[in-house]
Amino acid sequence: MFIYEKVMNVLLLLLVFTFLLNYFILFDSYFIYVGFLSFVVILLCLPITSGLPRIFSLLMLLIGMTVMIWTAKPFSIWTPMFTKNMSLVILIIFVPVLAIPLSIGQYNQEMMKFLIRFTEKKSLLFLWISSTIFVLGSIVNLGSISVVHSIIEKAHIPKEFLGRVYVRGFTSVITWSPFFASVFLILFTLNLSVANFIFYSFILGTIQLIAANLLFRYREKDKISFQHRPRVLHNINRKKVKELAVVFFLLVVIVLSIERFVNTNMSIVITMIVVLITFGWCLFLRKVKEILLQFHQFSMNVLPKRANEVVLFLTAGFFSETLSMTPLGQHVQKLFMFLANKTIILVILFMLIITMLFALAGIHQIVTISAFLSSVNPLEFGFSHLMFALTLTCSWSLSTLISPTTPVNIITAQLLKVNIPDLIRWNAPFAILMIFLYTAVIYLFYILS
């Protein structure tokens, strides 16, 4: 199996290279050959996937193929559909390279010194951990939880506390970060710019972060007991903290600036920016040899680490394209029209609750979100693409809180050595609170827009 994974890893990188080459040179204008290679990668990567992501990927693939056979579409129509989310897959693969200079520059050590100062103050500790994940997660995705946990795991902080702060902090990032494939899936499909989206989405993410802290401080803090242990305080290298802040600021500013002048696929642009900043960061640290070694190790281990996400996004792209060819979309559109005629609040609530209920049942939110994107035209009932995108990202965020299949809950459960149902139980009250809070805020945006 080890050799098979290495061969598949090379094949996936070949697909990435071929897709990018075709994107810039356009030797395969109809994406016939690139699409066929994507289809081959999906089939051969399925054995490397695991758990429910494998099941849902297989189901989406089979349903999509059934629709194509039923509608008698030739295979030349099929193949381009497998590349719909390919640029998002590239984003998934390469954004985590930002974790390389983070570890090489030992920035995590400075974060540890900073966070350890608050281990005896529950509310402040919750605030600093959730805020750290809120910022760091936008850069290194799920790696932020592992980084923070490696910093504080020896502080003997209760699992009930960490299970809340990790998941709530990270799901606040899902709402707004332009470096998340889930956000770009929605923006890319709706043809929305990051600049138009990020102002409103960042407000929503910040509201979720504040709500998480207020709920903990006033309702949950006294229910969790800490063991008081002596702390060893170290001086913080403020220069490192400032460097990290500058990198984050540069990433966001460069992305928003380039988007104004470049009319191209922004997920590919962001990937290029991330890789260039990573190399530039390591040049600044004078660690060129280390980054070349780590980047080689990183590129040779994309699979099986990212197998679930790669296959899920590729099959979801194919699935959503085939759904648009069925009458299902018309029925879904009629339902949304009916709800909107009553009040747009029902549309927002319906999207949030349905996505969450399916997620709680084990159905990954990419299935539900893809179905909404392919079936619903929000403009027909007076809901702008921006408001629709905000509702979808909030739906993705809240469904992650209570889903037994999402990576954030799986990773958190593994780190804390707890059961996923315990995580869901700890965070379900917060998810319910956020349904109504998000509905109110999005409706306010809708009125003011």
- Domain residue limits, the chain: 2-83, 93-225+232-286+324-448
- What pLDDT, in 10s, does the model give residues 103-123? 788 776 776 666 666 666 789
- What pLDDT, in 10s, does the model give residues 29-41? 878 899 999 999 9
- What pLDDT, in 10s, does the model give residues 364-377? 888 899 889 988 99
> Residue 234: its pLDDT value, please?
59
> Degrees (nearest 5) of the Cα angle 169, 175, 176?
105
Q: Which of 127, 147, 125, 126 is nearest to 136 (CA)?
A: 147
Radius of gyration of the chain (CA): 22
- What pLDDT, in 10s, does the model give residues 314-328? 998 898 888 878 888
- What pLDDT, in 10s, does the model give residues 330-358? 899 999 999 999 999 999 999 999 999 99
For residues 194 and 256, is the Cβ–Cβ distance under 8 A? yes
Q: Is the pLDDT of residue 299 over 80?
A: no
Which residues does 121 contact at the CB level (< 8 Å), separation at least 6?
A: none
> Residue 99: its pLDDT value, please?
78
**b/e sequence 308-317, b meaning 16+ C-beta within 10 Å:** bbbbbbbbbb
H or E segment to which residue 178 belongs: none
- What pLDDT, in 10s, does the model give residues 187-202? 988 989 888 899 999 9
Average pLDDT of the residues of the chain: 86
> Residue 443: its pLDDT value, please?
98
Highest mean predicted confidence (pLDDT) among 57-71, 119-133, 186-200, 389-403: 389-403
> Residue 231: its pLDDT value, please?
54
- More reliable by pLDDT, 431 or 157: 431
- What pLDDT, in 10s, does the model give residues 228-250? 555 555 566 778 878 888 887 88
Q: Is the pLDDT of residue 1 over 70?
A: no
- More reliable by pLDDT, 103 or 214: 214
DSSP state of 365: H
- What pLDDT, in 10s, does the model give residues 139-161? 777 777 877 887 777 677 899 99
How much is the average pLDDT of 68-88? 87
Q: How many CB atoms lie within 10 A of CB 357?
A: 13
Identity of the amino acid at 300: M
Which residues does 279 contact at the CB level (< 8 Å), separation at least 6?
A: 291
> Residue 170: its pLDDT value, please?
94
Dihedral in degrees, nearest 10, Cα atoms 19, 75, 373, 202:
-10
